[in-house]
């Protein structure tokens, strides 16, 4: 064993057994760059290989590990199968090996090599002999190499790298890793009976037994949740320590007038949410509230009232929308309701800010407090705008922006403004605590009355004709339709041969079945002006059929659109499908969502069936998380925090609650400030600049 130590931040290339070529693959395929990334590339599963069974002792139906020398390698084709066979022998006997339809296996085999084979012994129905034809994994041993034994890790891998590669490299890393000092507070360690860090890091990869494995997992999961919670609380505390918040007065005439101007009665959930908001705004501490509500549940009206409240108190409000189209839409709605009450609203759009004169005029009015409410995209509001008295910032669909960005805007005013975040992503409670641990939460659960539920159907490509005939009939009944296609990463050579799916679909539909209907294509790569013009024309009802990529995912209100066809639906996340589907069913007509998929995979089918069975975003999210695991639900860029490496939002709910309570205690305990420096280092290591706000402190 070598004694050479390394730093966790060292390039993974320098680990024995890796080198530049494999390092490149690790970086590209798995985003593993450093020793630390590799160490925390935790196994997704394990296989029990604690002992090798002598071949002479094998019995039918045993699941075993055998080691022997390969001979009689052969490949043949029958009408139904491609079959690879060989014979594995050790000192005690021999057994036939068979692989069906796994051609790639052949290249890894050669007569005379030593193999470790894991699988199940079966009676071959043809020859009547014991054989191994259910081989779950195998790998070749170098000459003189001893097979690894124990409960062996199975890593999230990629085709170019074998499990054996990962196992050997991980062993090398652990051999060279100096003993890791404990970083969790001693009291927590004792109270929760947690395994020491050093032991846990080793045991998670190569556990002695399953009990040790579970303890290692629990410890690492706790640490992960605890670090994130501490990080979020530090952010919150720092904000609260730094500057004073604004204490708004109780609601007066203007808020009352705005409520009366709204053409409908608020739902119970909306009223409750607005009460939560008012209570926060009337306190000295800055409001940090998340309003979570399904697409179309009516979050925007509530946010509008909160903006009126800040205006009533002499402050200004900013409303940040995720896209320009949405900003325009909100601006029109707000203006219609609030201008008559004397509230001045400005739209910061790309058009306006591209003219220097207009931009400067608006900026001046904002800095004089002549404008009460500013609506724009996140980017536009963040840019050079100086508010005279910013009282409230509303961020719509915040999960698209990072936590750090959220703070950037408010940094520029003397008093710390209240902050309201709205999201339509149905995040389960446990996940909310993890991702939005620094926010208080209000829920809008029930949709406003009178909505027609959206009917969802899963269909295969063979039904295309019927599907599009139906779309046609809706269009001829006066309605509009969306067709959504996935984005596919194609290599340059493929791009030359094939159009991307949306363009291909558009060509096919607009030239054939819909040649007499006004169709348009909307694509993320188009110029913003063109995109806006197309969206505007669709909103105005001129374009009847809109073929697009997911650019339409976020919030445009076209109540006359009643059908959405989603092609290759299995390629989308459930959260995304739900968000897309929310584009229809916004008016009083019955709406339909048709998911087209030819996927044969059970999990893909199961996911689409959930879409068919419910329109409740929360149920969907939970079902999706259970099917796929938490890792892939959001995707990092969507919530600004990295996906969890080891904790599981379902399994570890209790651990999360414990971690949050522990973090609350530690972050408010003045005596423990030293501990933060350790924690900061750790957060930086694990999550990079995601917590730069506190790690820079």
Q: Which of 245, 293, 317, 376 binds ligand ADP (CB under 6 A)?
A: 293
Residues facing 95 on adjacent strands: 88
| Span of 293-301, 528-536, 539-547, 628-636 interacting with ligand ADP by CB under 6 A | 293-301
Residue 293 contact among Mg ion, ligand ADP, none, beta carbon within 5 to 8 Å by kind: ligand ADP
The residues in 128-187 that bind ligand ADP, with binding defined as CB under 6 A, are none
Q: Which residue has 């201008």 as its token pair? A: 339
- Return d(Cα 329, Cα 85) in angstroms, integer: 66
The residue to which tokens 């069936």 are assigned: 609
Instruction: Give min distance, CB of 293 to ligand ADP, in A.
Output: 5
Report the residue count for the chain.
Answer: 697
Give the C-alpha separation, 226 to 182, whole Å: 14
* 300 near ligand ADP, judged by CB under 6 A: yes
φ, ψ of residue 56 in degrees (nearest 5): -65, -20
Q: Which two tokens stand for residue 51?
A: 């002992």
Structure tokens, 661: 């309570």
- For ligand ADP, the closer CB: 270 or 323: 270
Q: Which of 139, 167, 205, 299 binds ligand ADP (CB under 6 A)?
A: 299
453: its two tokens? 């539920």
Task: Verify binding: residue 298, ligand ADP, rule CB under 6 A.
Answer: yes
> What distance in Å separates the CA atoms of residue 604 and residue 597, rounded to the nearest whole number?
9
Residue nearest to ligand ADP (CB): 298
Q: Which of the ranges 81-89, 104-112, 297-305, 452-460 carries the binding residues for ligand ADP, by CB under 6 A?
A: 297-305
For residues 206 and 274, which CB has a smaller minimum distance to ligand ADP in the complex?
274
Cα 595 to the center of its chain, rounded Å:
21
Q: Which stretch binds ligand ADP (CB under 6 A): 158-166, 180-188, 261-269, 349-357?
A: 261-269
Measured from the CB of residue 303, what is the shortest distance to Mg ion in angstroms?
Answer: 9
Among 161, 266, 488, 685, binds ligand ADP (CB under 6 A): 266
Q: CA–CA separation, 7 vs 5, rounded Å?
A: 7
Q: How far is the CB of 405 from ligand ADP (least distance, A)?
A: 20
587 binds ligand ADP (CB under 6 A): no
Helix (H, G, I), strand (E, B) or coil at 663: helix
Q: Hey, which residues between 442 and 461 contact ligand ADP (CB under 6 A)?
A: 448
Spell out, one character per residue from 475 to 504, where the chain touches Mg ion: x when CB under 5 A holds, - when not: ------------------------------
Interface residues for Mg ion in 524-563 (CB under 5 A)?
555
Residue with tokens 């390969």: 70
Q: What is the DSSP string of 540-582?
A: TT---EEEE-GGG-S----TTEEEEEETTGGGS-HHHHHHHHT
Bridge partner list, 77: 82
Q: With respect to Mg ion, which residue has the nearer C-beta, 54 or 296?
A: 296
Nearer to ligand ADP, 38 or 482 (CB): 482
Work out how close the CB of 621 gets to ligand ADP at its nearest, in angstroms, rounded to a whole number: 16
266 binds, among Mg ion, ligand ADP, none (CB under 5 to 8 A by kind): ligand ADP
Three-class DSSP category at 50: coil
Tokens of 244: 């004073």
Task: Tell me 416's DSSP state.
Answer: B
State how far the Cα of 687 lies from the Cα of 641, in Å rounded to an integer. Answer: 8
Place of tokens 């779950």: 136
Site for ligand ADP in 470-529 (CB under 6 A): none
Query: Which among 382, 373, 392, 405 is positioned nearest to 291, based on CA atoms?
Result: 392
Whole-angstrom Cα distance, residue 179 to residue 200?
A: 11
Give min distance, CB of 681 to ligand ADP, in A. Answer: 40
Residue 241: closest CA among 408, 417, 404, 416: 416
- x/- mask, Mg ion, residues 619-648, rule CB under 5 A, reads ------------------------------
Element holding 133 (H helix, E strand): strand 130-141
Least CB distance to Mg ion at residue 321 (A) = 8
Contact code string over 540-569 relative to ligand ADP, x by CB under 6 A: -----------------x------------
- Tell me which of 270, 423, 658, 682 binds ligand ADP, using CB under 6 A: 270
Other C-beta atoms lying within 10 Å of the C-beta of residue 455: 15
Which residues contact ligand ADP by CB under 6 A? 264, 266-267, 270, 293, 295-301, 424, 448, 557
Which residues contact Mg ion by CB under 5 A? 555
């Amino acid at each position: 064993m070598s004694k050479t130590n390394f730093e966790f931040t060292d390039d993974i290339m320098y680990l024995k057994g890796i080198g530049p070529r494999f390092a490149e693959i690790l970086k590209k395929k798995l985003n593993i760059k450093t020793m630390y990334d590799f160490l925390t590339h935790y196994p997704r599963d394990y296989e029990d290989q604690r002992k090798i069974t002598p071949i002479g002792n094998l019995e039918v139906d045993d699941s075993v590990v055998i080691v022997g020398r390969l001979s009689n390698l052969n490949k043949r084709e029958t009408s139904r199968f491609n079959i690879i066979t060989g014979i594995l022998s050790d000192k005690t006997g021999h057994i036939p090996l068979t692989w069906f339809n796994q051609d790639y296996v052949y290249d890894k085999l050669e007569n005379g090599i030593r193999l470790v084979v894991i699988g199940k012994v079966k009676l071959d129905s043809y020859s009547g002999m014991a054989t191994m034809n259910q081989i779950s994994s195998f790998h070749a041993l170098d000459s003189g190499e001893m097979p690894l034994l124990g409960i062996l890790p199975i890593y999230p891998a990629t085709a170019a790298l074998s499990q054996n590669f990962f196992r050997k490299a991980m062993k090398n890393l652990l051999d060279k890793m100096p003993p890791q000092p404990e970083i969790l507070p001693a009291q927590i360690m004792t109270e929760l009976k947690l395994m020491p860090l050093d032991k846990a890091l080793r045991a998670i990869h190569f556990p002695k037994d399953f009990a040790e494995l579970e303890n290692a997992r629990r410890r690492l999961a706790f640490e992960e949740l605890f670090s994130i919670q501490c990080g979020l609380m530090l952010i919150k505390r720092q904000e609260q320590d730094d500057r004073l918040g604004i204490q708004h007065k109780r609601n007066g005439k203007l808020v009352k007038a705005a409520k009366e101007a709204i053409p409908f009665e608020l739902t119970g959930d909306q009223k409750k949410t607005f009460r939560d908001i008012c209570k926060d705004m009337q306190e000295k501490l800055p409001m940090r509230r998340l309003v979570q509500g399904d697409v179309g549940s009516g979050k925007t009206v509530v946010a509008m009232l909160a903006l009126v409240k800040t205006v009533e108190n002499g402050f200004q409000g900013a409303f940040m929308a995720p896209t320009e189209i949405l900003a325009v839409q909100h601006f029109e709605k707000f203006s219609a309701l609030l201008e008559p009450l004397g509230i001045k609203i400005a739209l910061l759009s790309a058009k306006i800010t591209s003219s220097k004169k207009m931009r400067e005029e608006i900026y001046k009015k904002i800095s004089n407090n002549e404008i009460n409410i500013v609506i724009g995209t996140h980017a536009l509001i963040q840019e050079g705008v100086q508010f005279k008295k910013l009282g409230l910032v509303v961020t719509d669909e915040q999960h698209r922006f990072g936590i750090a960005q959220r703070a950037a805007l408010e940094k520029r005013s003397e008093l710390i403004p209240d902050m309201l975040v709205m999201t339509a992503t149905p995040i389960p409670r446990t996940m909310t605590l993890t991702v939005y641990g620094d926010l208080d939460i209000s829920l809008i659960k029930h949709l406003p009355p009178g909505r027609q539920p959206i009917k969802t159907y899963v269909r295969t490509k063979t039904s295309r004709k019927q599907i599009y005939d139906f779309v046609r009939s809706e269009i001829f009944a006066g309605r509009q339709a969306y067709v959504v296609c996935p984005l596919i990463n194609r290599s340059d050579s493929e791009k030359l041969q094939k159009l991307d799916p949306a363009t291909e679909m558009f060509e096919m539909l607009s030239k054939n079945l819909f040649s007499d209907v006004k169709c348009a294509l909307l694509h993320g790569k188009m110029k913003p002006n063109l995109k806006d013009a197309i969206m505007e024309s669709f909103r105005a009802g001129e374009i009847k059929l809109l073929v697009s990529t997911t650019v339409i995912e976020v919030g445009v209100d076209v109540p006359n659109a009643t059908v959405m066809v989603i092609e290759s639906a299995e390629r989308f996340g459930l959260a995304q499908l739900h968000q897309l589907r929310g584009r229809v069913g916004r008016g009083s007509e019955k709406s339909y969502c048709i998911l087209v998929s030819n996927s044969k995979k059970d999990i893909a089918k199961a996911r689409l069936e959930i879409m068919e069975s419910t329109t409740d975003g929360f149920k969907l999210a939970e079902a999706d998380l259970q099917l796929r695991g938490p890792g892939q639900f959001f995707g990092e860029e969507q919530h600004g925090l990295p996906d969890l490496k080891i904790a599981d939002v379902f399994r570890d709910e209790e651990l999360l609650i414990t971690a949050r309570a522990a973090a609350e205690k530690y972050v408010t305990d003045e005596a423990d400030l030293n501990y933060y420096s350790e924690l900061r280092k750790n957060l930086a290591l694990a999550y990079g600049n995601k917590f730069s706000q506190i790690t820079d402190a």
